[in-house]
Amino acid sequence: MASVEFKNVSKSFNAFKAVSDVSLDIGDGEFVCLLGPSGCGKTTSLRMMAGLETPTSGQILIGGKEVTHLHPKDRNIAMVFQDYALYPHMNLADNMAYPLKVRGEPVQKRHARAREVADVLKIGHLMDRLPSQISGGQQQRTSLARALVYPAQVYLFDEPLSNLDAKLRLEARGFLNHLQRDMGMTAVYVTHDQAEAMALATRIAVMDQGKIVQYASPIEIYRRPATTFVANFVGNPPMNLVEVECEQGEGQLLLKGEGLTMQGLPMTDAIGKALATSGKKLTLGVRPEHLAIAAAGASNTVTAPLFANENMGPESLVTLDRGENARITARIFTDDHLNVDKVVTLSFLAEHVHLFDGTGKRIPVAGE
């Protein structure tokens, strides 16, 4: 196992800047997820770690050793591809044993090792099959097994679960989490699925337009998103973001938006500074799970016509219509959603509120 380090790495494809000036520090034994929408540069970053792309500028270090221009075969890494890349003409045993074959292991030894790993992944009985003769989930595990047969310094995953159906994906996700706890491997995992990143990562690097927007632990990213982009990307459904106007009261802040009022947010220096630069307009963020159907006389409320009321079993999603791009969704864990009217009032607590300035950057609230 080894650490991975990016020093001011950039990568351009002709005029398109896929990755721009990314610095990233991945500790030994960490499981880091690169999370972002498609085209944000996360896969390009991973491919540069693997040596499948060469950075336009910057340095990449694995285990403290510079590998920026090293061929993939000389990096001692393992990678699981999105399309699995199983060799169609080899049976599973030969597929899994291939990394050992190129390392010059004798055939019996490498097949024995492949069998060992395959048994752990519960595909040991399929060793004679061709990749086209097994299911998608089994193909995924075969490609994982091929990455695990040899001791690599770093394990790279390029959206390995995105071709699986929902149930298999959860199962595979749990297994990967178990594997990481078991092996303590250094892993870099690319995904656009925030739930996968939250579940697996020790740290998440949220990427947007070739840059890392926030690099922190999952809980930090969930609790203190650095920008509205991160706030909007992490969480399911994503955080509600509402344009509000601020008025300063006595040591506290008064927020007003369409159908929304909030008071009792303690005034801080940071908020004062933001108000000075962005004017009175800020963005208020509240996660759906922090909204509730308001009881009579509640403060901090938002009122709007009901748009949708979706029952999911343990919870339900109540969505209010404040215009096309300004809907507010609440996750309700009680039976309150059964009694909602055509116009609904939701309430929230001041301690659950996020504030962002005019450029979308987080403003630290009191106590941070």
Partner 1 sequence: MKLTLPAYVGRIAFSALAALIGAIFALPLIWFIFAPFNARAELGLAIPDPWTLSNFATVFGNSYAVQALWNSFIQATGGVILVGAAATLAAYALSRSSVPGKGAVTYTLLLFSSVVSGSAAMVPIFLIVSAMGIMDTHIAVILTFAGGLLPTAMFILRDFIDSIPKSYEESAMVAGASPVQAFFDVALPVIRPGIVVVVVWAFVNIWGSFLIPFILLRSSDNMPASVAIYSFYSEAGTPIVTLLAAYALIYSLPVVALYLFVSWKFGFRFFGGIKA
Residues near partner 1, by CB under 8 A: 50-52, 71-73, 75-79, 81-89, 98-99, 101-103, 131-132, 139, 143, 146, 150, 156, 163
Q: How far apart are alpha carbons 235 and 17 in whole angstroms? A: 28
Instruction: Please report how close the Cβ of residue 121 comes to partner 1 at its closest, in angstroms.
Output: 17
Instruction: Please report how close the Cβ of residue 271 comes to partner 1 at its closest, in angstroms.
Output: 49
Instruction: Please report how close the Cβ of residue 171 comes to partner 1 at its closest, in angstroms.
Output: 19
Instruction: Please report how close the Cβ of residue 84 comes to partner 1 at its closest, in angstroms.
Output: 7
Comparing CB distances to partner 1, the nearer of 73 and 109 is: 73
Comparing CB distances to partner 1, the nearer of 88 and 297 is: 88
Comparing CB distances to partner 1, the nearer of 89 and 342 is: 89
Peptide bond into 237 cis (omega under 30): yes
Comparing CB distances to partner 1, the nearer of 193 and 315 is: 193
Comparing CB distances to partner 1, the nearer of 88 and 314 is: 88
Of the CA atoms within 13 Å of residue 171, those in its CB half-sphere come to 11
Instruction: Please report how close the Cβ of residue 201 comes to partner 1 at its closest, in angstroms.
Output: 22
Q: How far apart are alpha carbons 150 and 285 in whole angstroms? A: 46
Residue 338: name the closest of 316, 305, 307, 312 by CA: 316
Comparing CB distances to partner 1, the nearer of 191 and 214 is: 191
SS3 assignment, position 155: strand
Residue 200: name the closest of 225, 173, 222, 221 by CA: 173
Instruction: Please report how close the Cβ of residue 143 comes to partner 1 at its closest, in angstroms.
Output: 8
Q: How far apart are alpha carbons 188 and 86 in whole angstroms? A: 21
Q: How far apart are alpha carbons 355 and 281 in whole angstroms? A: 11
Q: How far apart are alpha carbons 118 and 113 in whole angstroms? A: 9
Instruction: Please report how close the Cβ of residue 176 comes to partner 1 at its closest, in angstroms.
Output: 18
Residues near 265 by beta carbon (within 8 Å), at least 6 away in sequence: 252, 253, 255, 350, 353, 355, 365, 366
Cβ burial of 306 (10 Å; 0-12, 13-18, 19+) is middle
Comparing CB distances to partner 1, the nearer of 4 and 293 is: 4
